[in-house]
Amino acid sequence: MQRFMARLVLLVLVCWCTAAPAETYKRVQPPSRKARTDQTAVKKVKKARAQGMTPYQVSDVAARLNRRAVQLGENGLNSRKFRTELSQAPLSSRLEVFVKAAARRGVNIQTFERRLRGMASGANRKTKATSVKKTFFEVTPESYDLFPKVMGENVIWFAANASPGHLHTLVADQNGGGHFTHNTYGEASLTTASVDRNYTQYIAPAMLTGPEMDRWVRYLNSGVQNDKSTVYGFKTSSGKVITATACTNWATSAPIGELKRWVRTVDRRVARAATEGRLDPKFKGGLHAVLAAAPTAEARQALIAEVLASDGLTPHTRAGVKRLGKEFNFIATSWPNRPLDLVGRESLSTVMGVPRSQDPAKWMYDLFFSKRVPIIGVTSTARNEKFSESEFNLEIMGKIDAKGDVVEGASSSYNRGVIPPERRPGYVPPAPEPEAAPAEEPATENPTATP
């Protein structure tokens, strides 16, 4: 009987791994209107993302969501109301819901906690020694269908193999949809995400607010439905325009965050002028939204001219208005199929507090060490019996050993994630070995002679 059951489990795994080609999709379902406009929810998500909650609060949220999940049952996990609650919860709370939902169907999801110590760089690109605590969890085919139901709302999952040489994005339908899609390079098509490989993958989340997720979904969908060169690309701080977006930089440079500070300043001053009667009332919401809604370049130019014709603007505000007009023209010309409300927004990397990256190993390493990423997943077609002893190979960035230390990897001649020994937290240099007594030199005929 045991042999029969073992063969049955093996057959299920083989069927999972050799299933028919994945279905393709042309879009991810965007968030609901309420998710895009609810500012209370935005504040909750930002607080959860910044780890601004005590462990007690995180546990309390998890307990409340678990009670709700038990009431709904597994078939009720697609409830839009429940997914709205999940979207505002810390990722650690949602992980507990996922683990317990799997346990109710008889699947044990392995987890362990580990404090990581390595060199990490922030959004300002300054590198410093960092120590962060993470929860690692395992996902196998038996629990994979539950994963998007609990962990998919308002989250992009970045997936990469061990020794990351390539990056994938996993995105669930928002607003109650049932699809969980996979995309590479942000182009061509979306396919069904699944555990269909015989190697391990690391998955790291980027938790977004409702408006940020809406911008991401529209950015992704536009690239899937159009030539990616007409949607993806960016300009570096030095002014260089990047149009060849590989598997990593198209996603990390996604302009889905808040408006940049200088844009917000222009909007605020134009809105004040409209409120005070110095500009047409249509500018009371600021200049950016009006320009984004303009149908043509000529219409945008007319709006800029109308604002500049006002006598009540300071030279600084006029310069900002001209700069914003040029930014819209540049984006609309360089990437004509990009949604124009994304002009002048912070990149996904800025939202996550880490530098933009072209290298998947560097990006995954930064997410491993980002304080905005409390959990890391590991997907595999088979259960790892020594999961808690796992080491994580991050290629050029080194390896994270079972103690949580970043150590040099063997696959690269340089490792940018390694802490120099003298800067290791609590590091005590080894005592020098005692010097051996010098051997007696044989007597010479002239001991005072200089060699």
Counting as low any pLDDT under 70, the low residues of the chain are 1-22, 123, 187-188, 196-198, 410-414, 420-451
71 and 213, same domain (yes or no): yes
176 and 290, same domain (yes or no): no
Q: Is residue 335 part of a domain?
A: yes
Q: What is the distance between the alpha carbons of residues 187 and 199, in angstroms, rounded to a whole number?
A: 24
Q: Three-state secondary structure along 314-340?
A: CHHHHHHHHHHHHHHHHHHHHCCCCCH
The total of other beta-carbon atoms located within 10 Å of residue 151's CB is: 26
Residue type, 131: S
Q: Is residue 270 part of a domain?
A: yes
Residue type, 331: I
Instruction: Give the three-state DSSP class for 26.
Output: coil
The total of other beta-carbon atoms located within 10 Å of residue 433's CB is: 6
Residue type, 17: C
Structural domain including 300 reads: 261-343
Q: Is residue 401 part of a domain?
A: no
Cβ atoms 263, 288 nearer than 8 A: yes
| pLDDT the model gives residue 260 | 96
Q: What is the pLDDT of residues 71-90, one digit of tens each?
A: 998 888 888 889 999 999 99
222 and 297, same domain (yes or no): no
372 and 325, same domain (yes or no): no
Q: Is residue 113 part of a domain?
A: yes
35 and 184, same domain (yes or no): yes
221 and 330, same domain (yes or no): no
Number of domains observed in the structure of the chain: 2
194 and 127, same domain (yes or no): yes
The total of other beta-carbon atoms located within 10 Å of residue 223's CB is: 25
| pLDDT the model gives residue 415 | 76
| pLDDT the model gives residue 147 | 94
Distances in Å between the Cα of 89 and the Cα atoms of 65, 169, 208, 249 are 9, 21, 11, 28
Give the bridge partners for 120, in sequence order.
128
Look at strands 190-192 and 399-400 and give their pairing.
unpaired
pTM of the model as a whole: 0.86
290 and 333, same domain (yes or no): yes
Token duo for residue 9: 């489990």
The rounded Cα 84 to chain-centroid distance in angstroms is: 20
Q: Is residue 306 part of a domain?
A: yes
Cβ atoms 223, 231 nearer than 8 A: yes
The number of C-alpha atoms within 13 Å of 420 and in the hemisphere containing its C-beta is 4
Q: Which residue has the tokens 């979306």?
A: 190
Token duo for residue 333: 């010309």
Q: What is the distance between the alpha carbons of residues 388 and 180, in angstroms, rounded to a whole number?
A: 28
Question: How are the residues of the chain apportioned to helix, strand and coil, as percentages rounded to the nearest 5?
Answer: 45, 15, 40
Residue type, 154: N
| pLDDT the model gives residue 123 | 67
User: Over the Cα atoms of the chain, what is R_g?
Assistant: 27
106 and 191, same domain (yes or no): yes
Closest C-alpha among 189, 99, 207 to residue 153: 207
Q: Is residue 414 part of a domain?
A: no
124 and 169, same domain (yes or no): yes
Of the chain, the end-to-end C-alpha distance in Å amounts to: 86
Question: Running DSSP on this structure, what letter comes out for residue 22?
Answer: P
Cβ atoms 117, 368 nearer than 8 A: no
Length of the chain equals 451
Q: Is residue 77 part of a domain?
A: yes
| pLDDT the model gives residue 25 | 83
The rounded Cα 348 to chain-centroid distance in angstroms is: 7
172 and 297, same domain (yes or no): no
| pLDDT the model gives residue 126 | 78
Cβ atoms 107, 143 nearer than 8 A: yes
| pLDDT the model gives residue 119 | 87
182 and 318, same domain (yes or no): no
Q: Is residue 6 part of a domain?
A: no
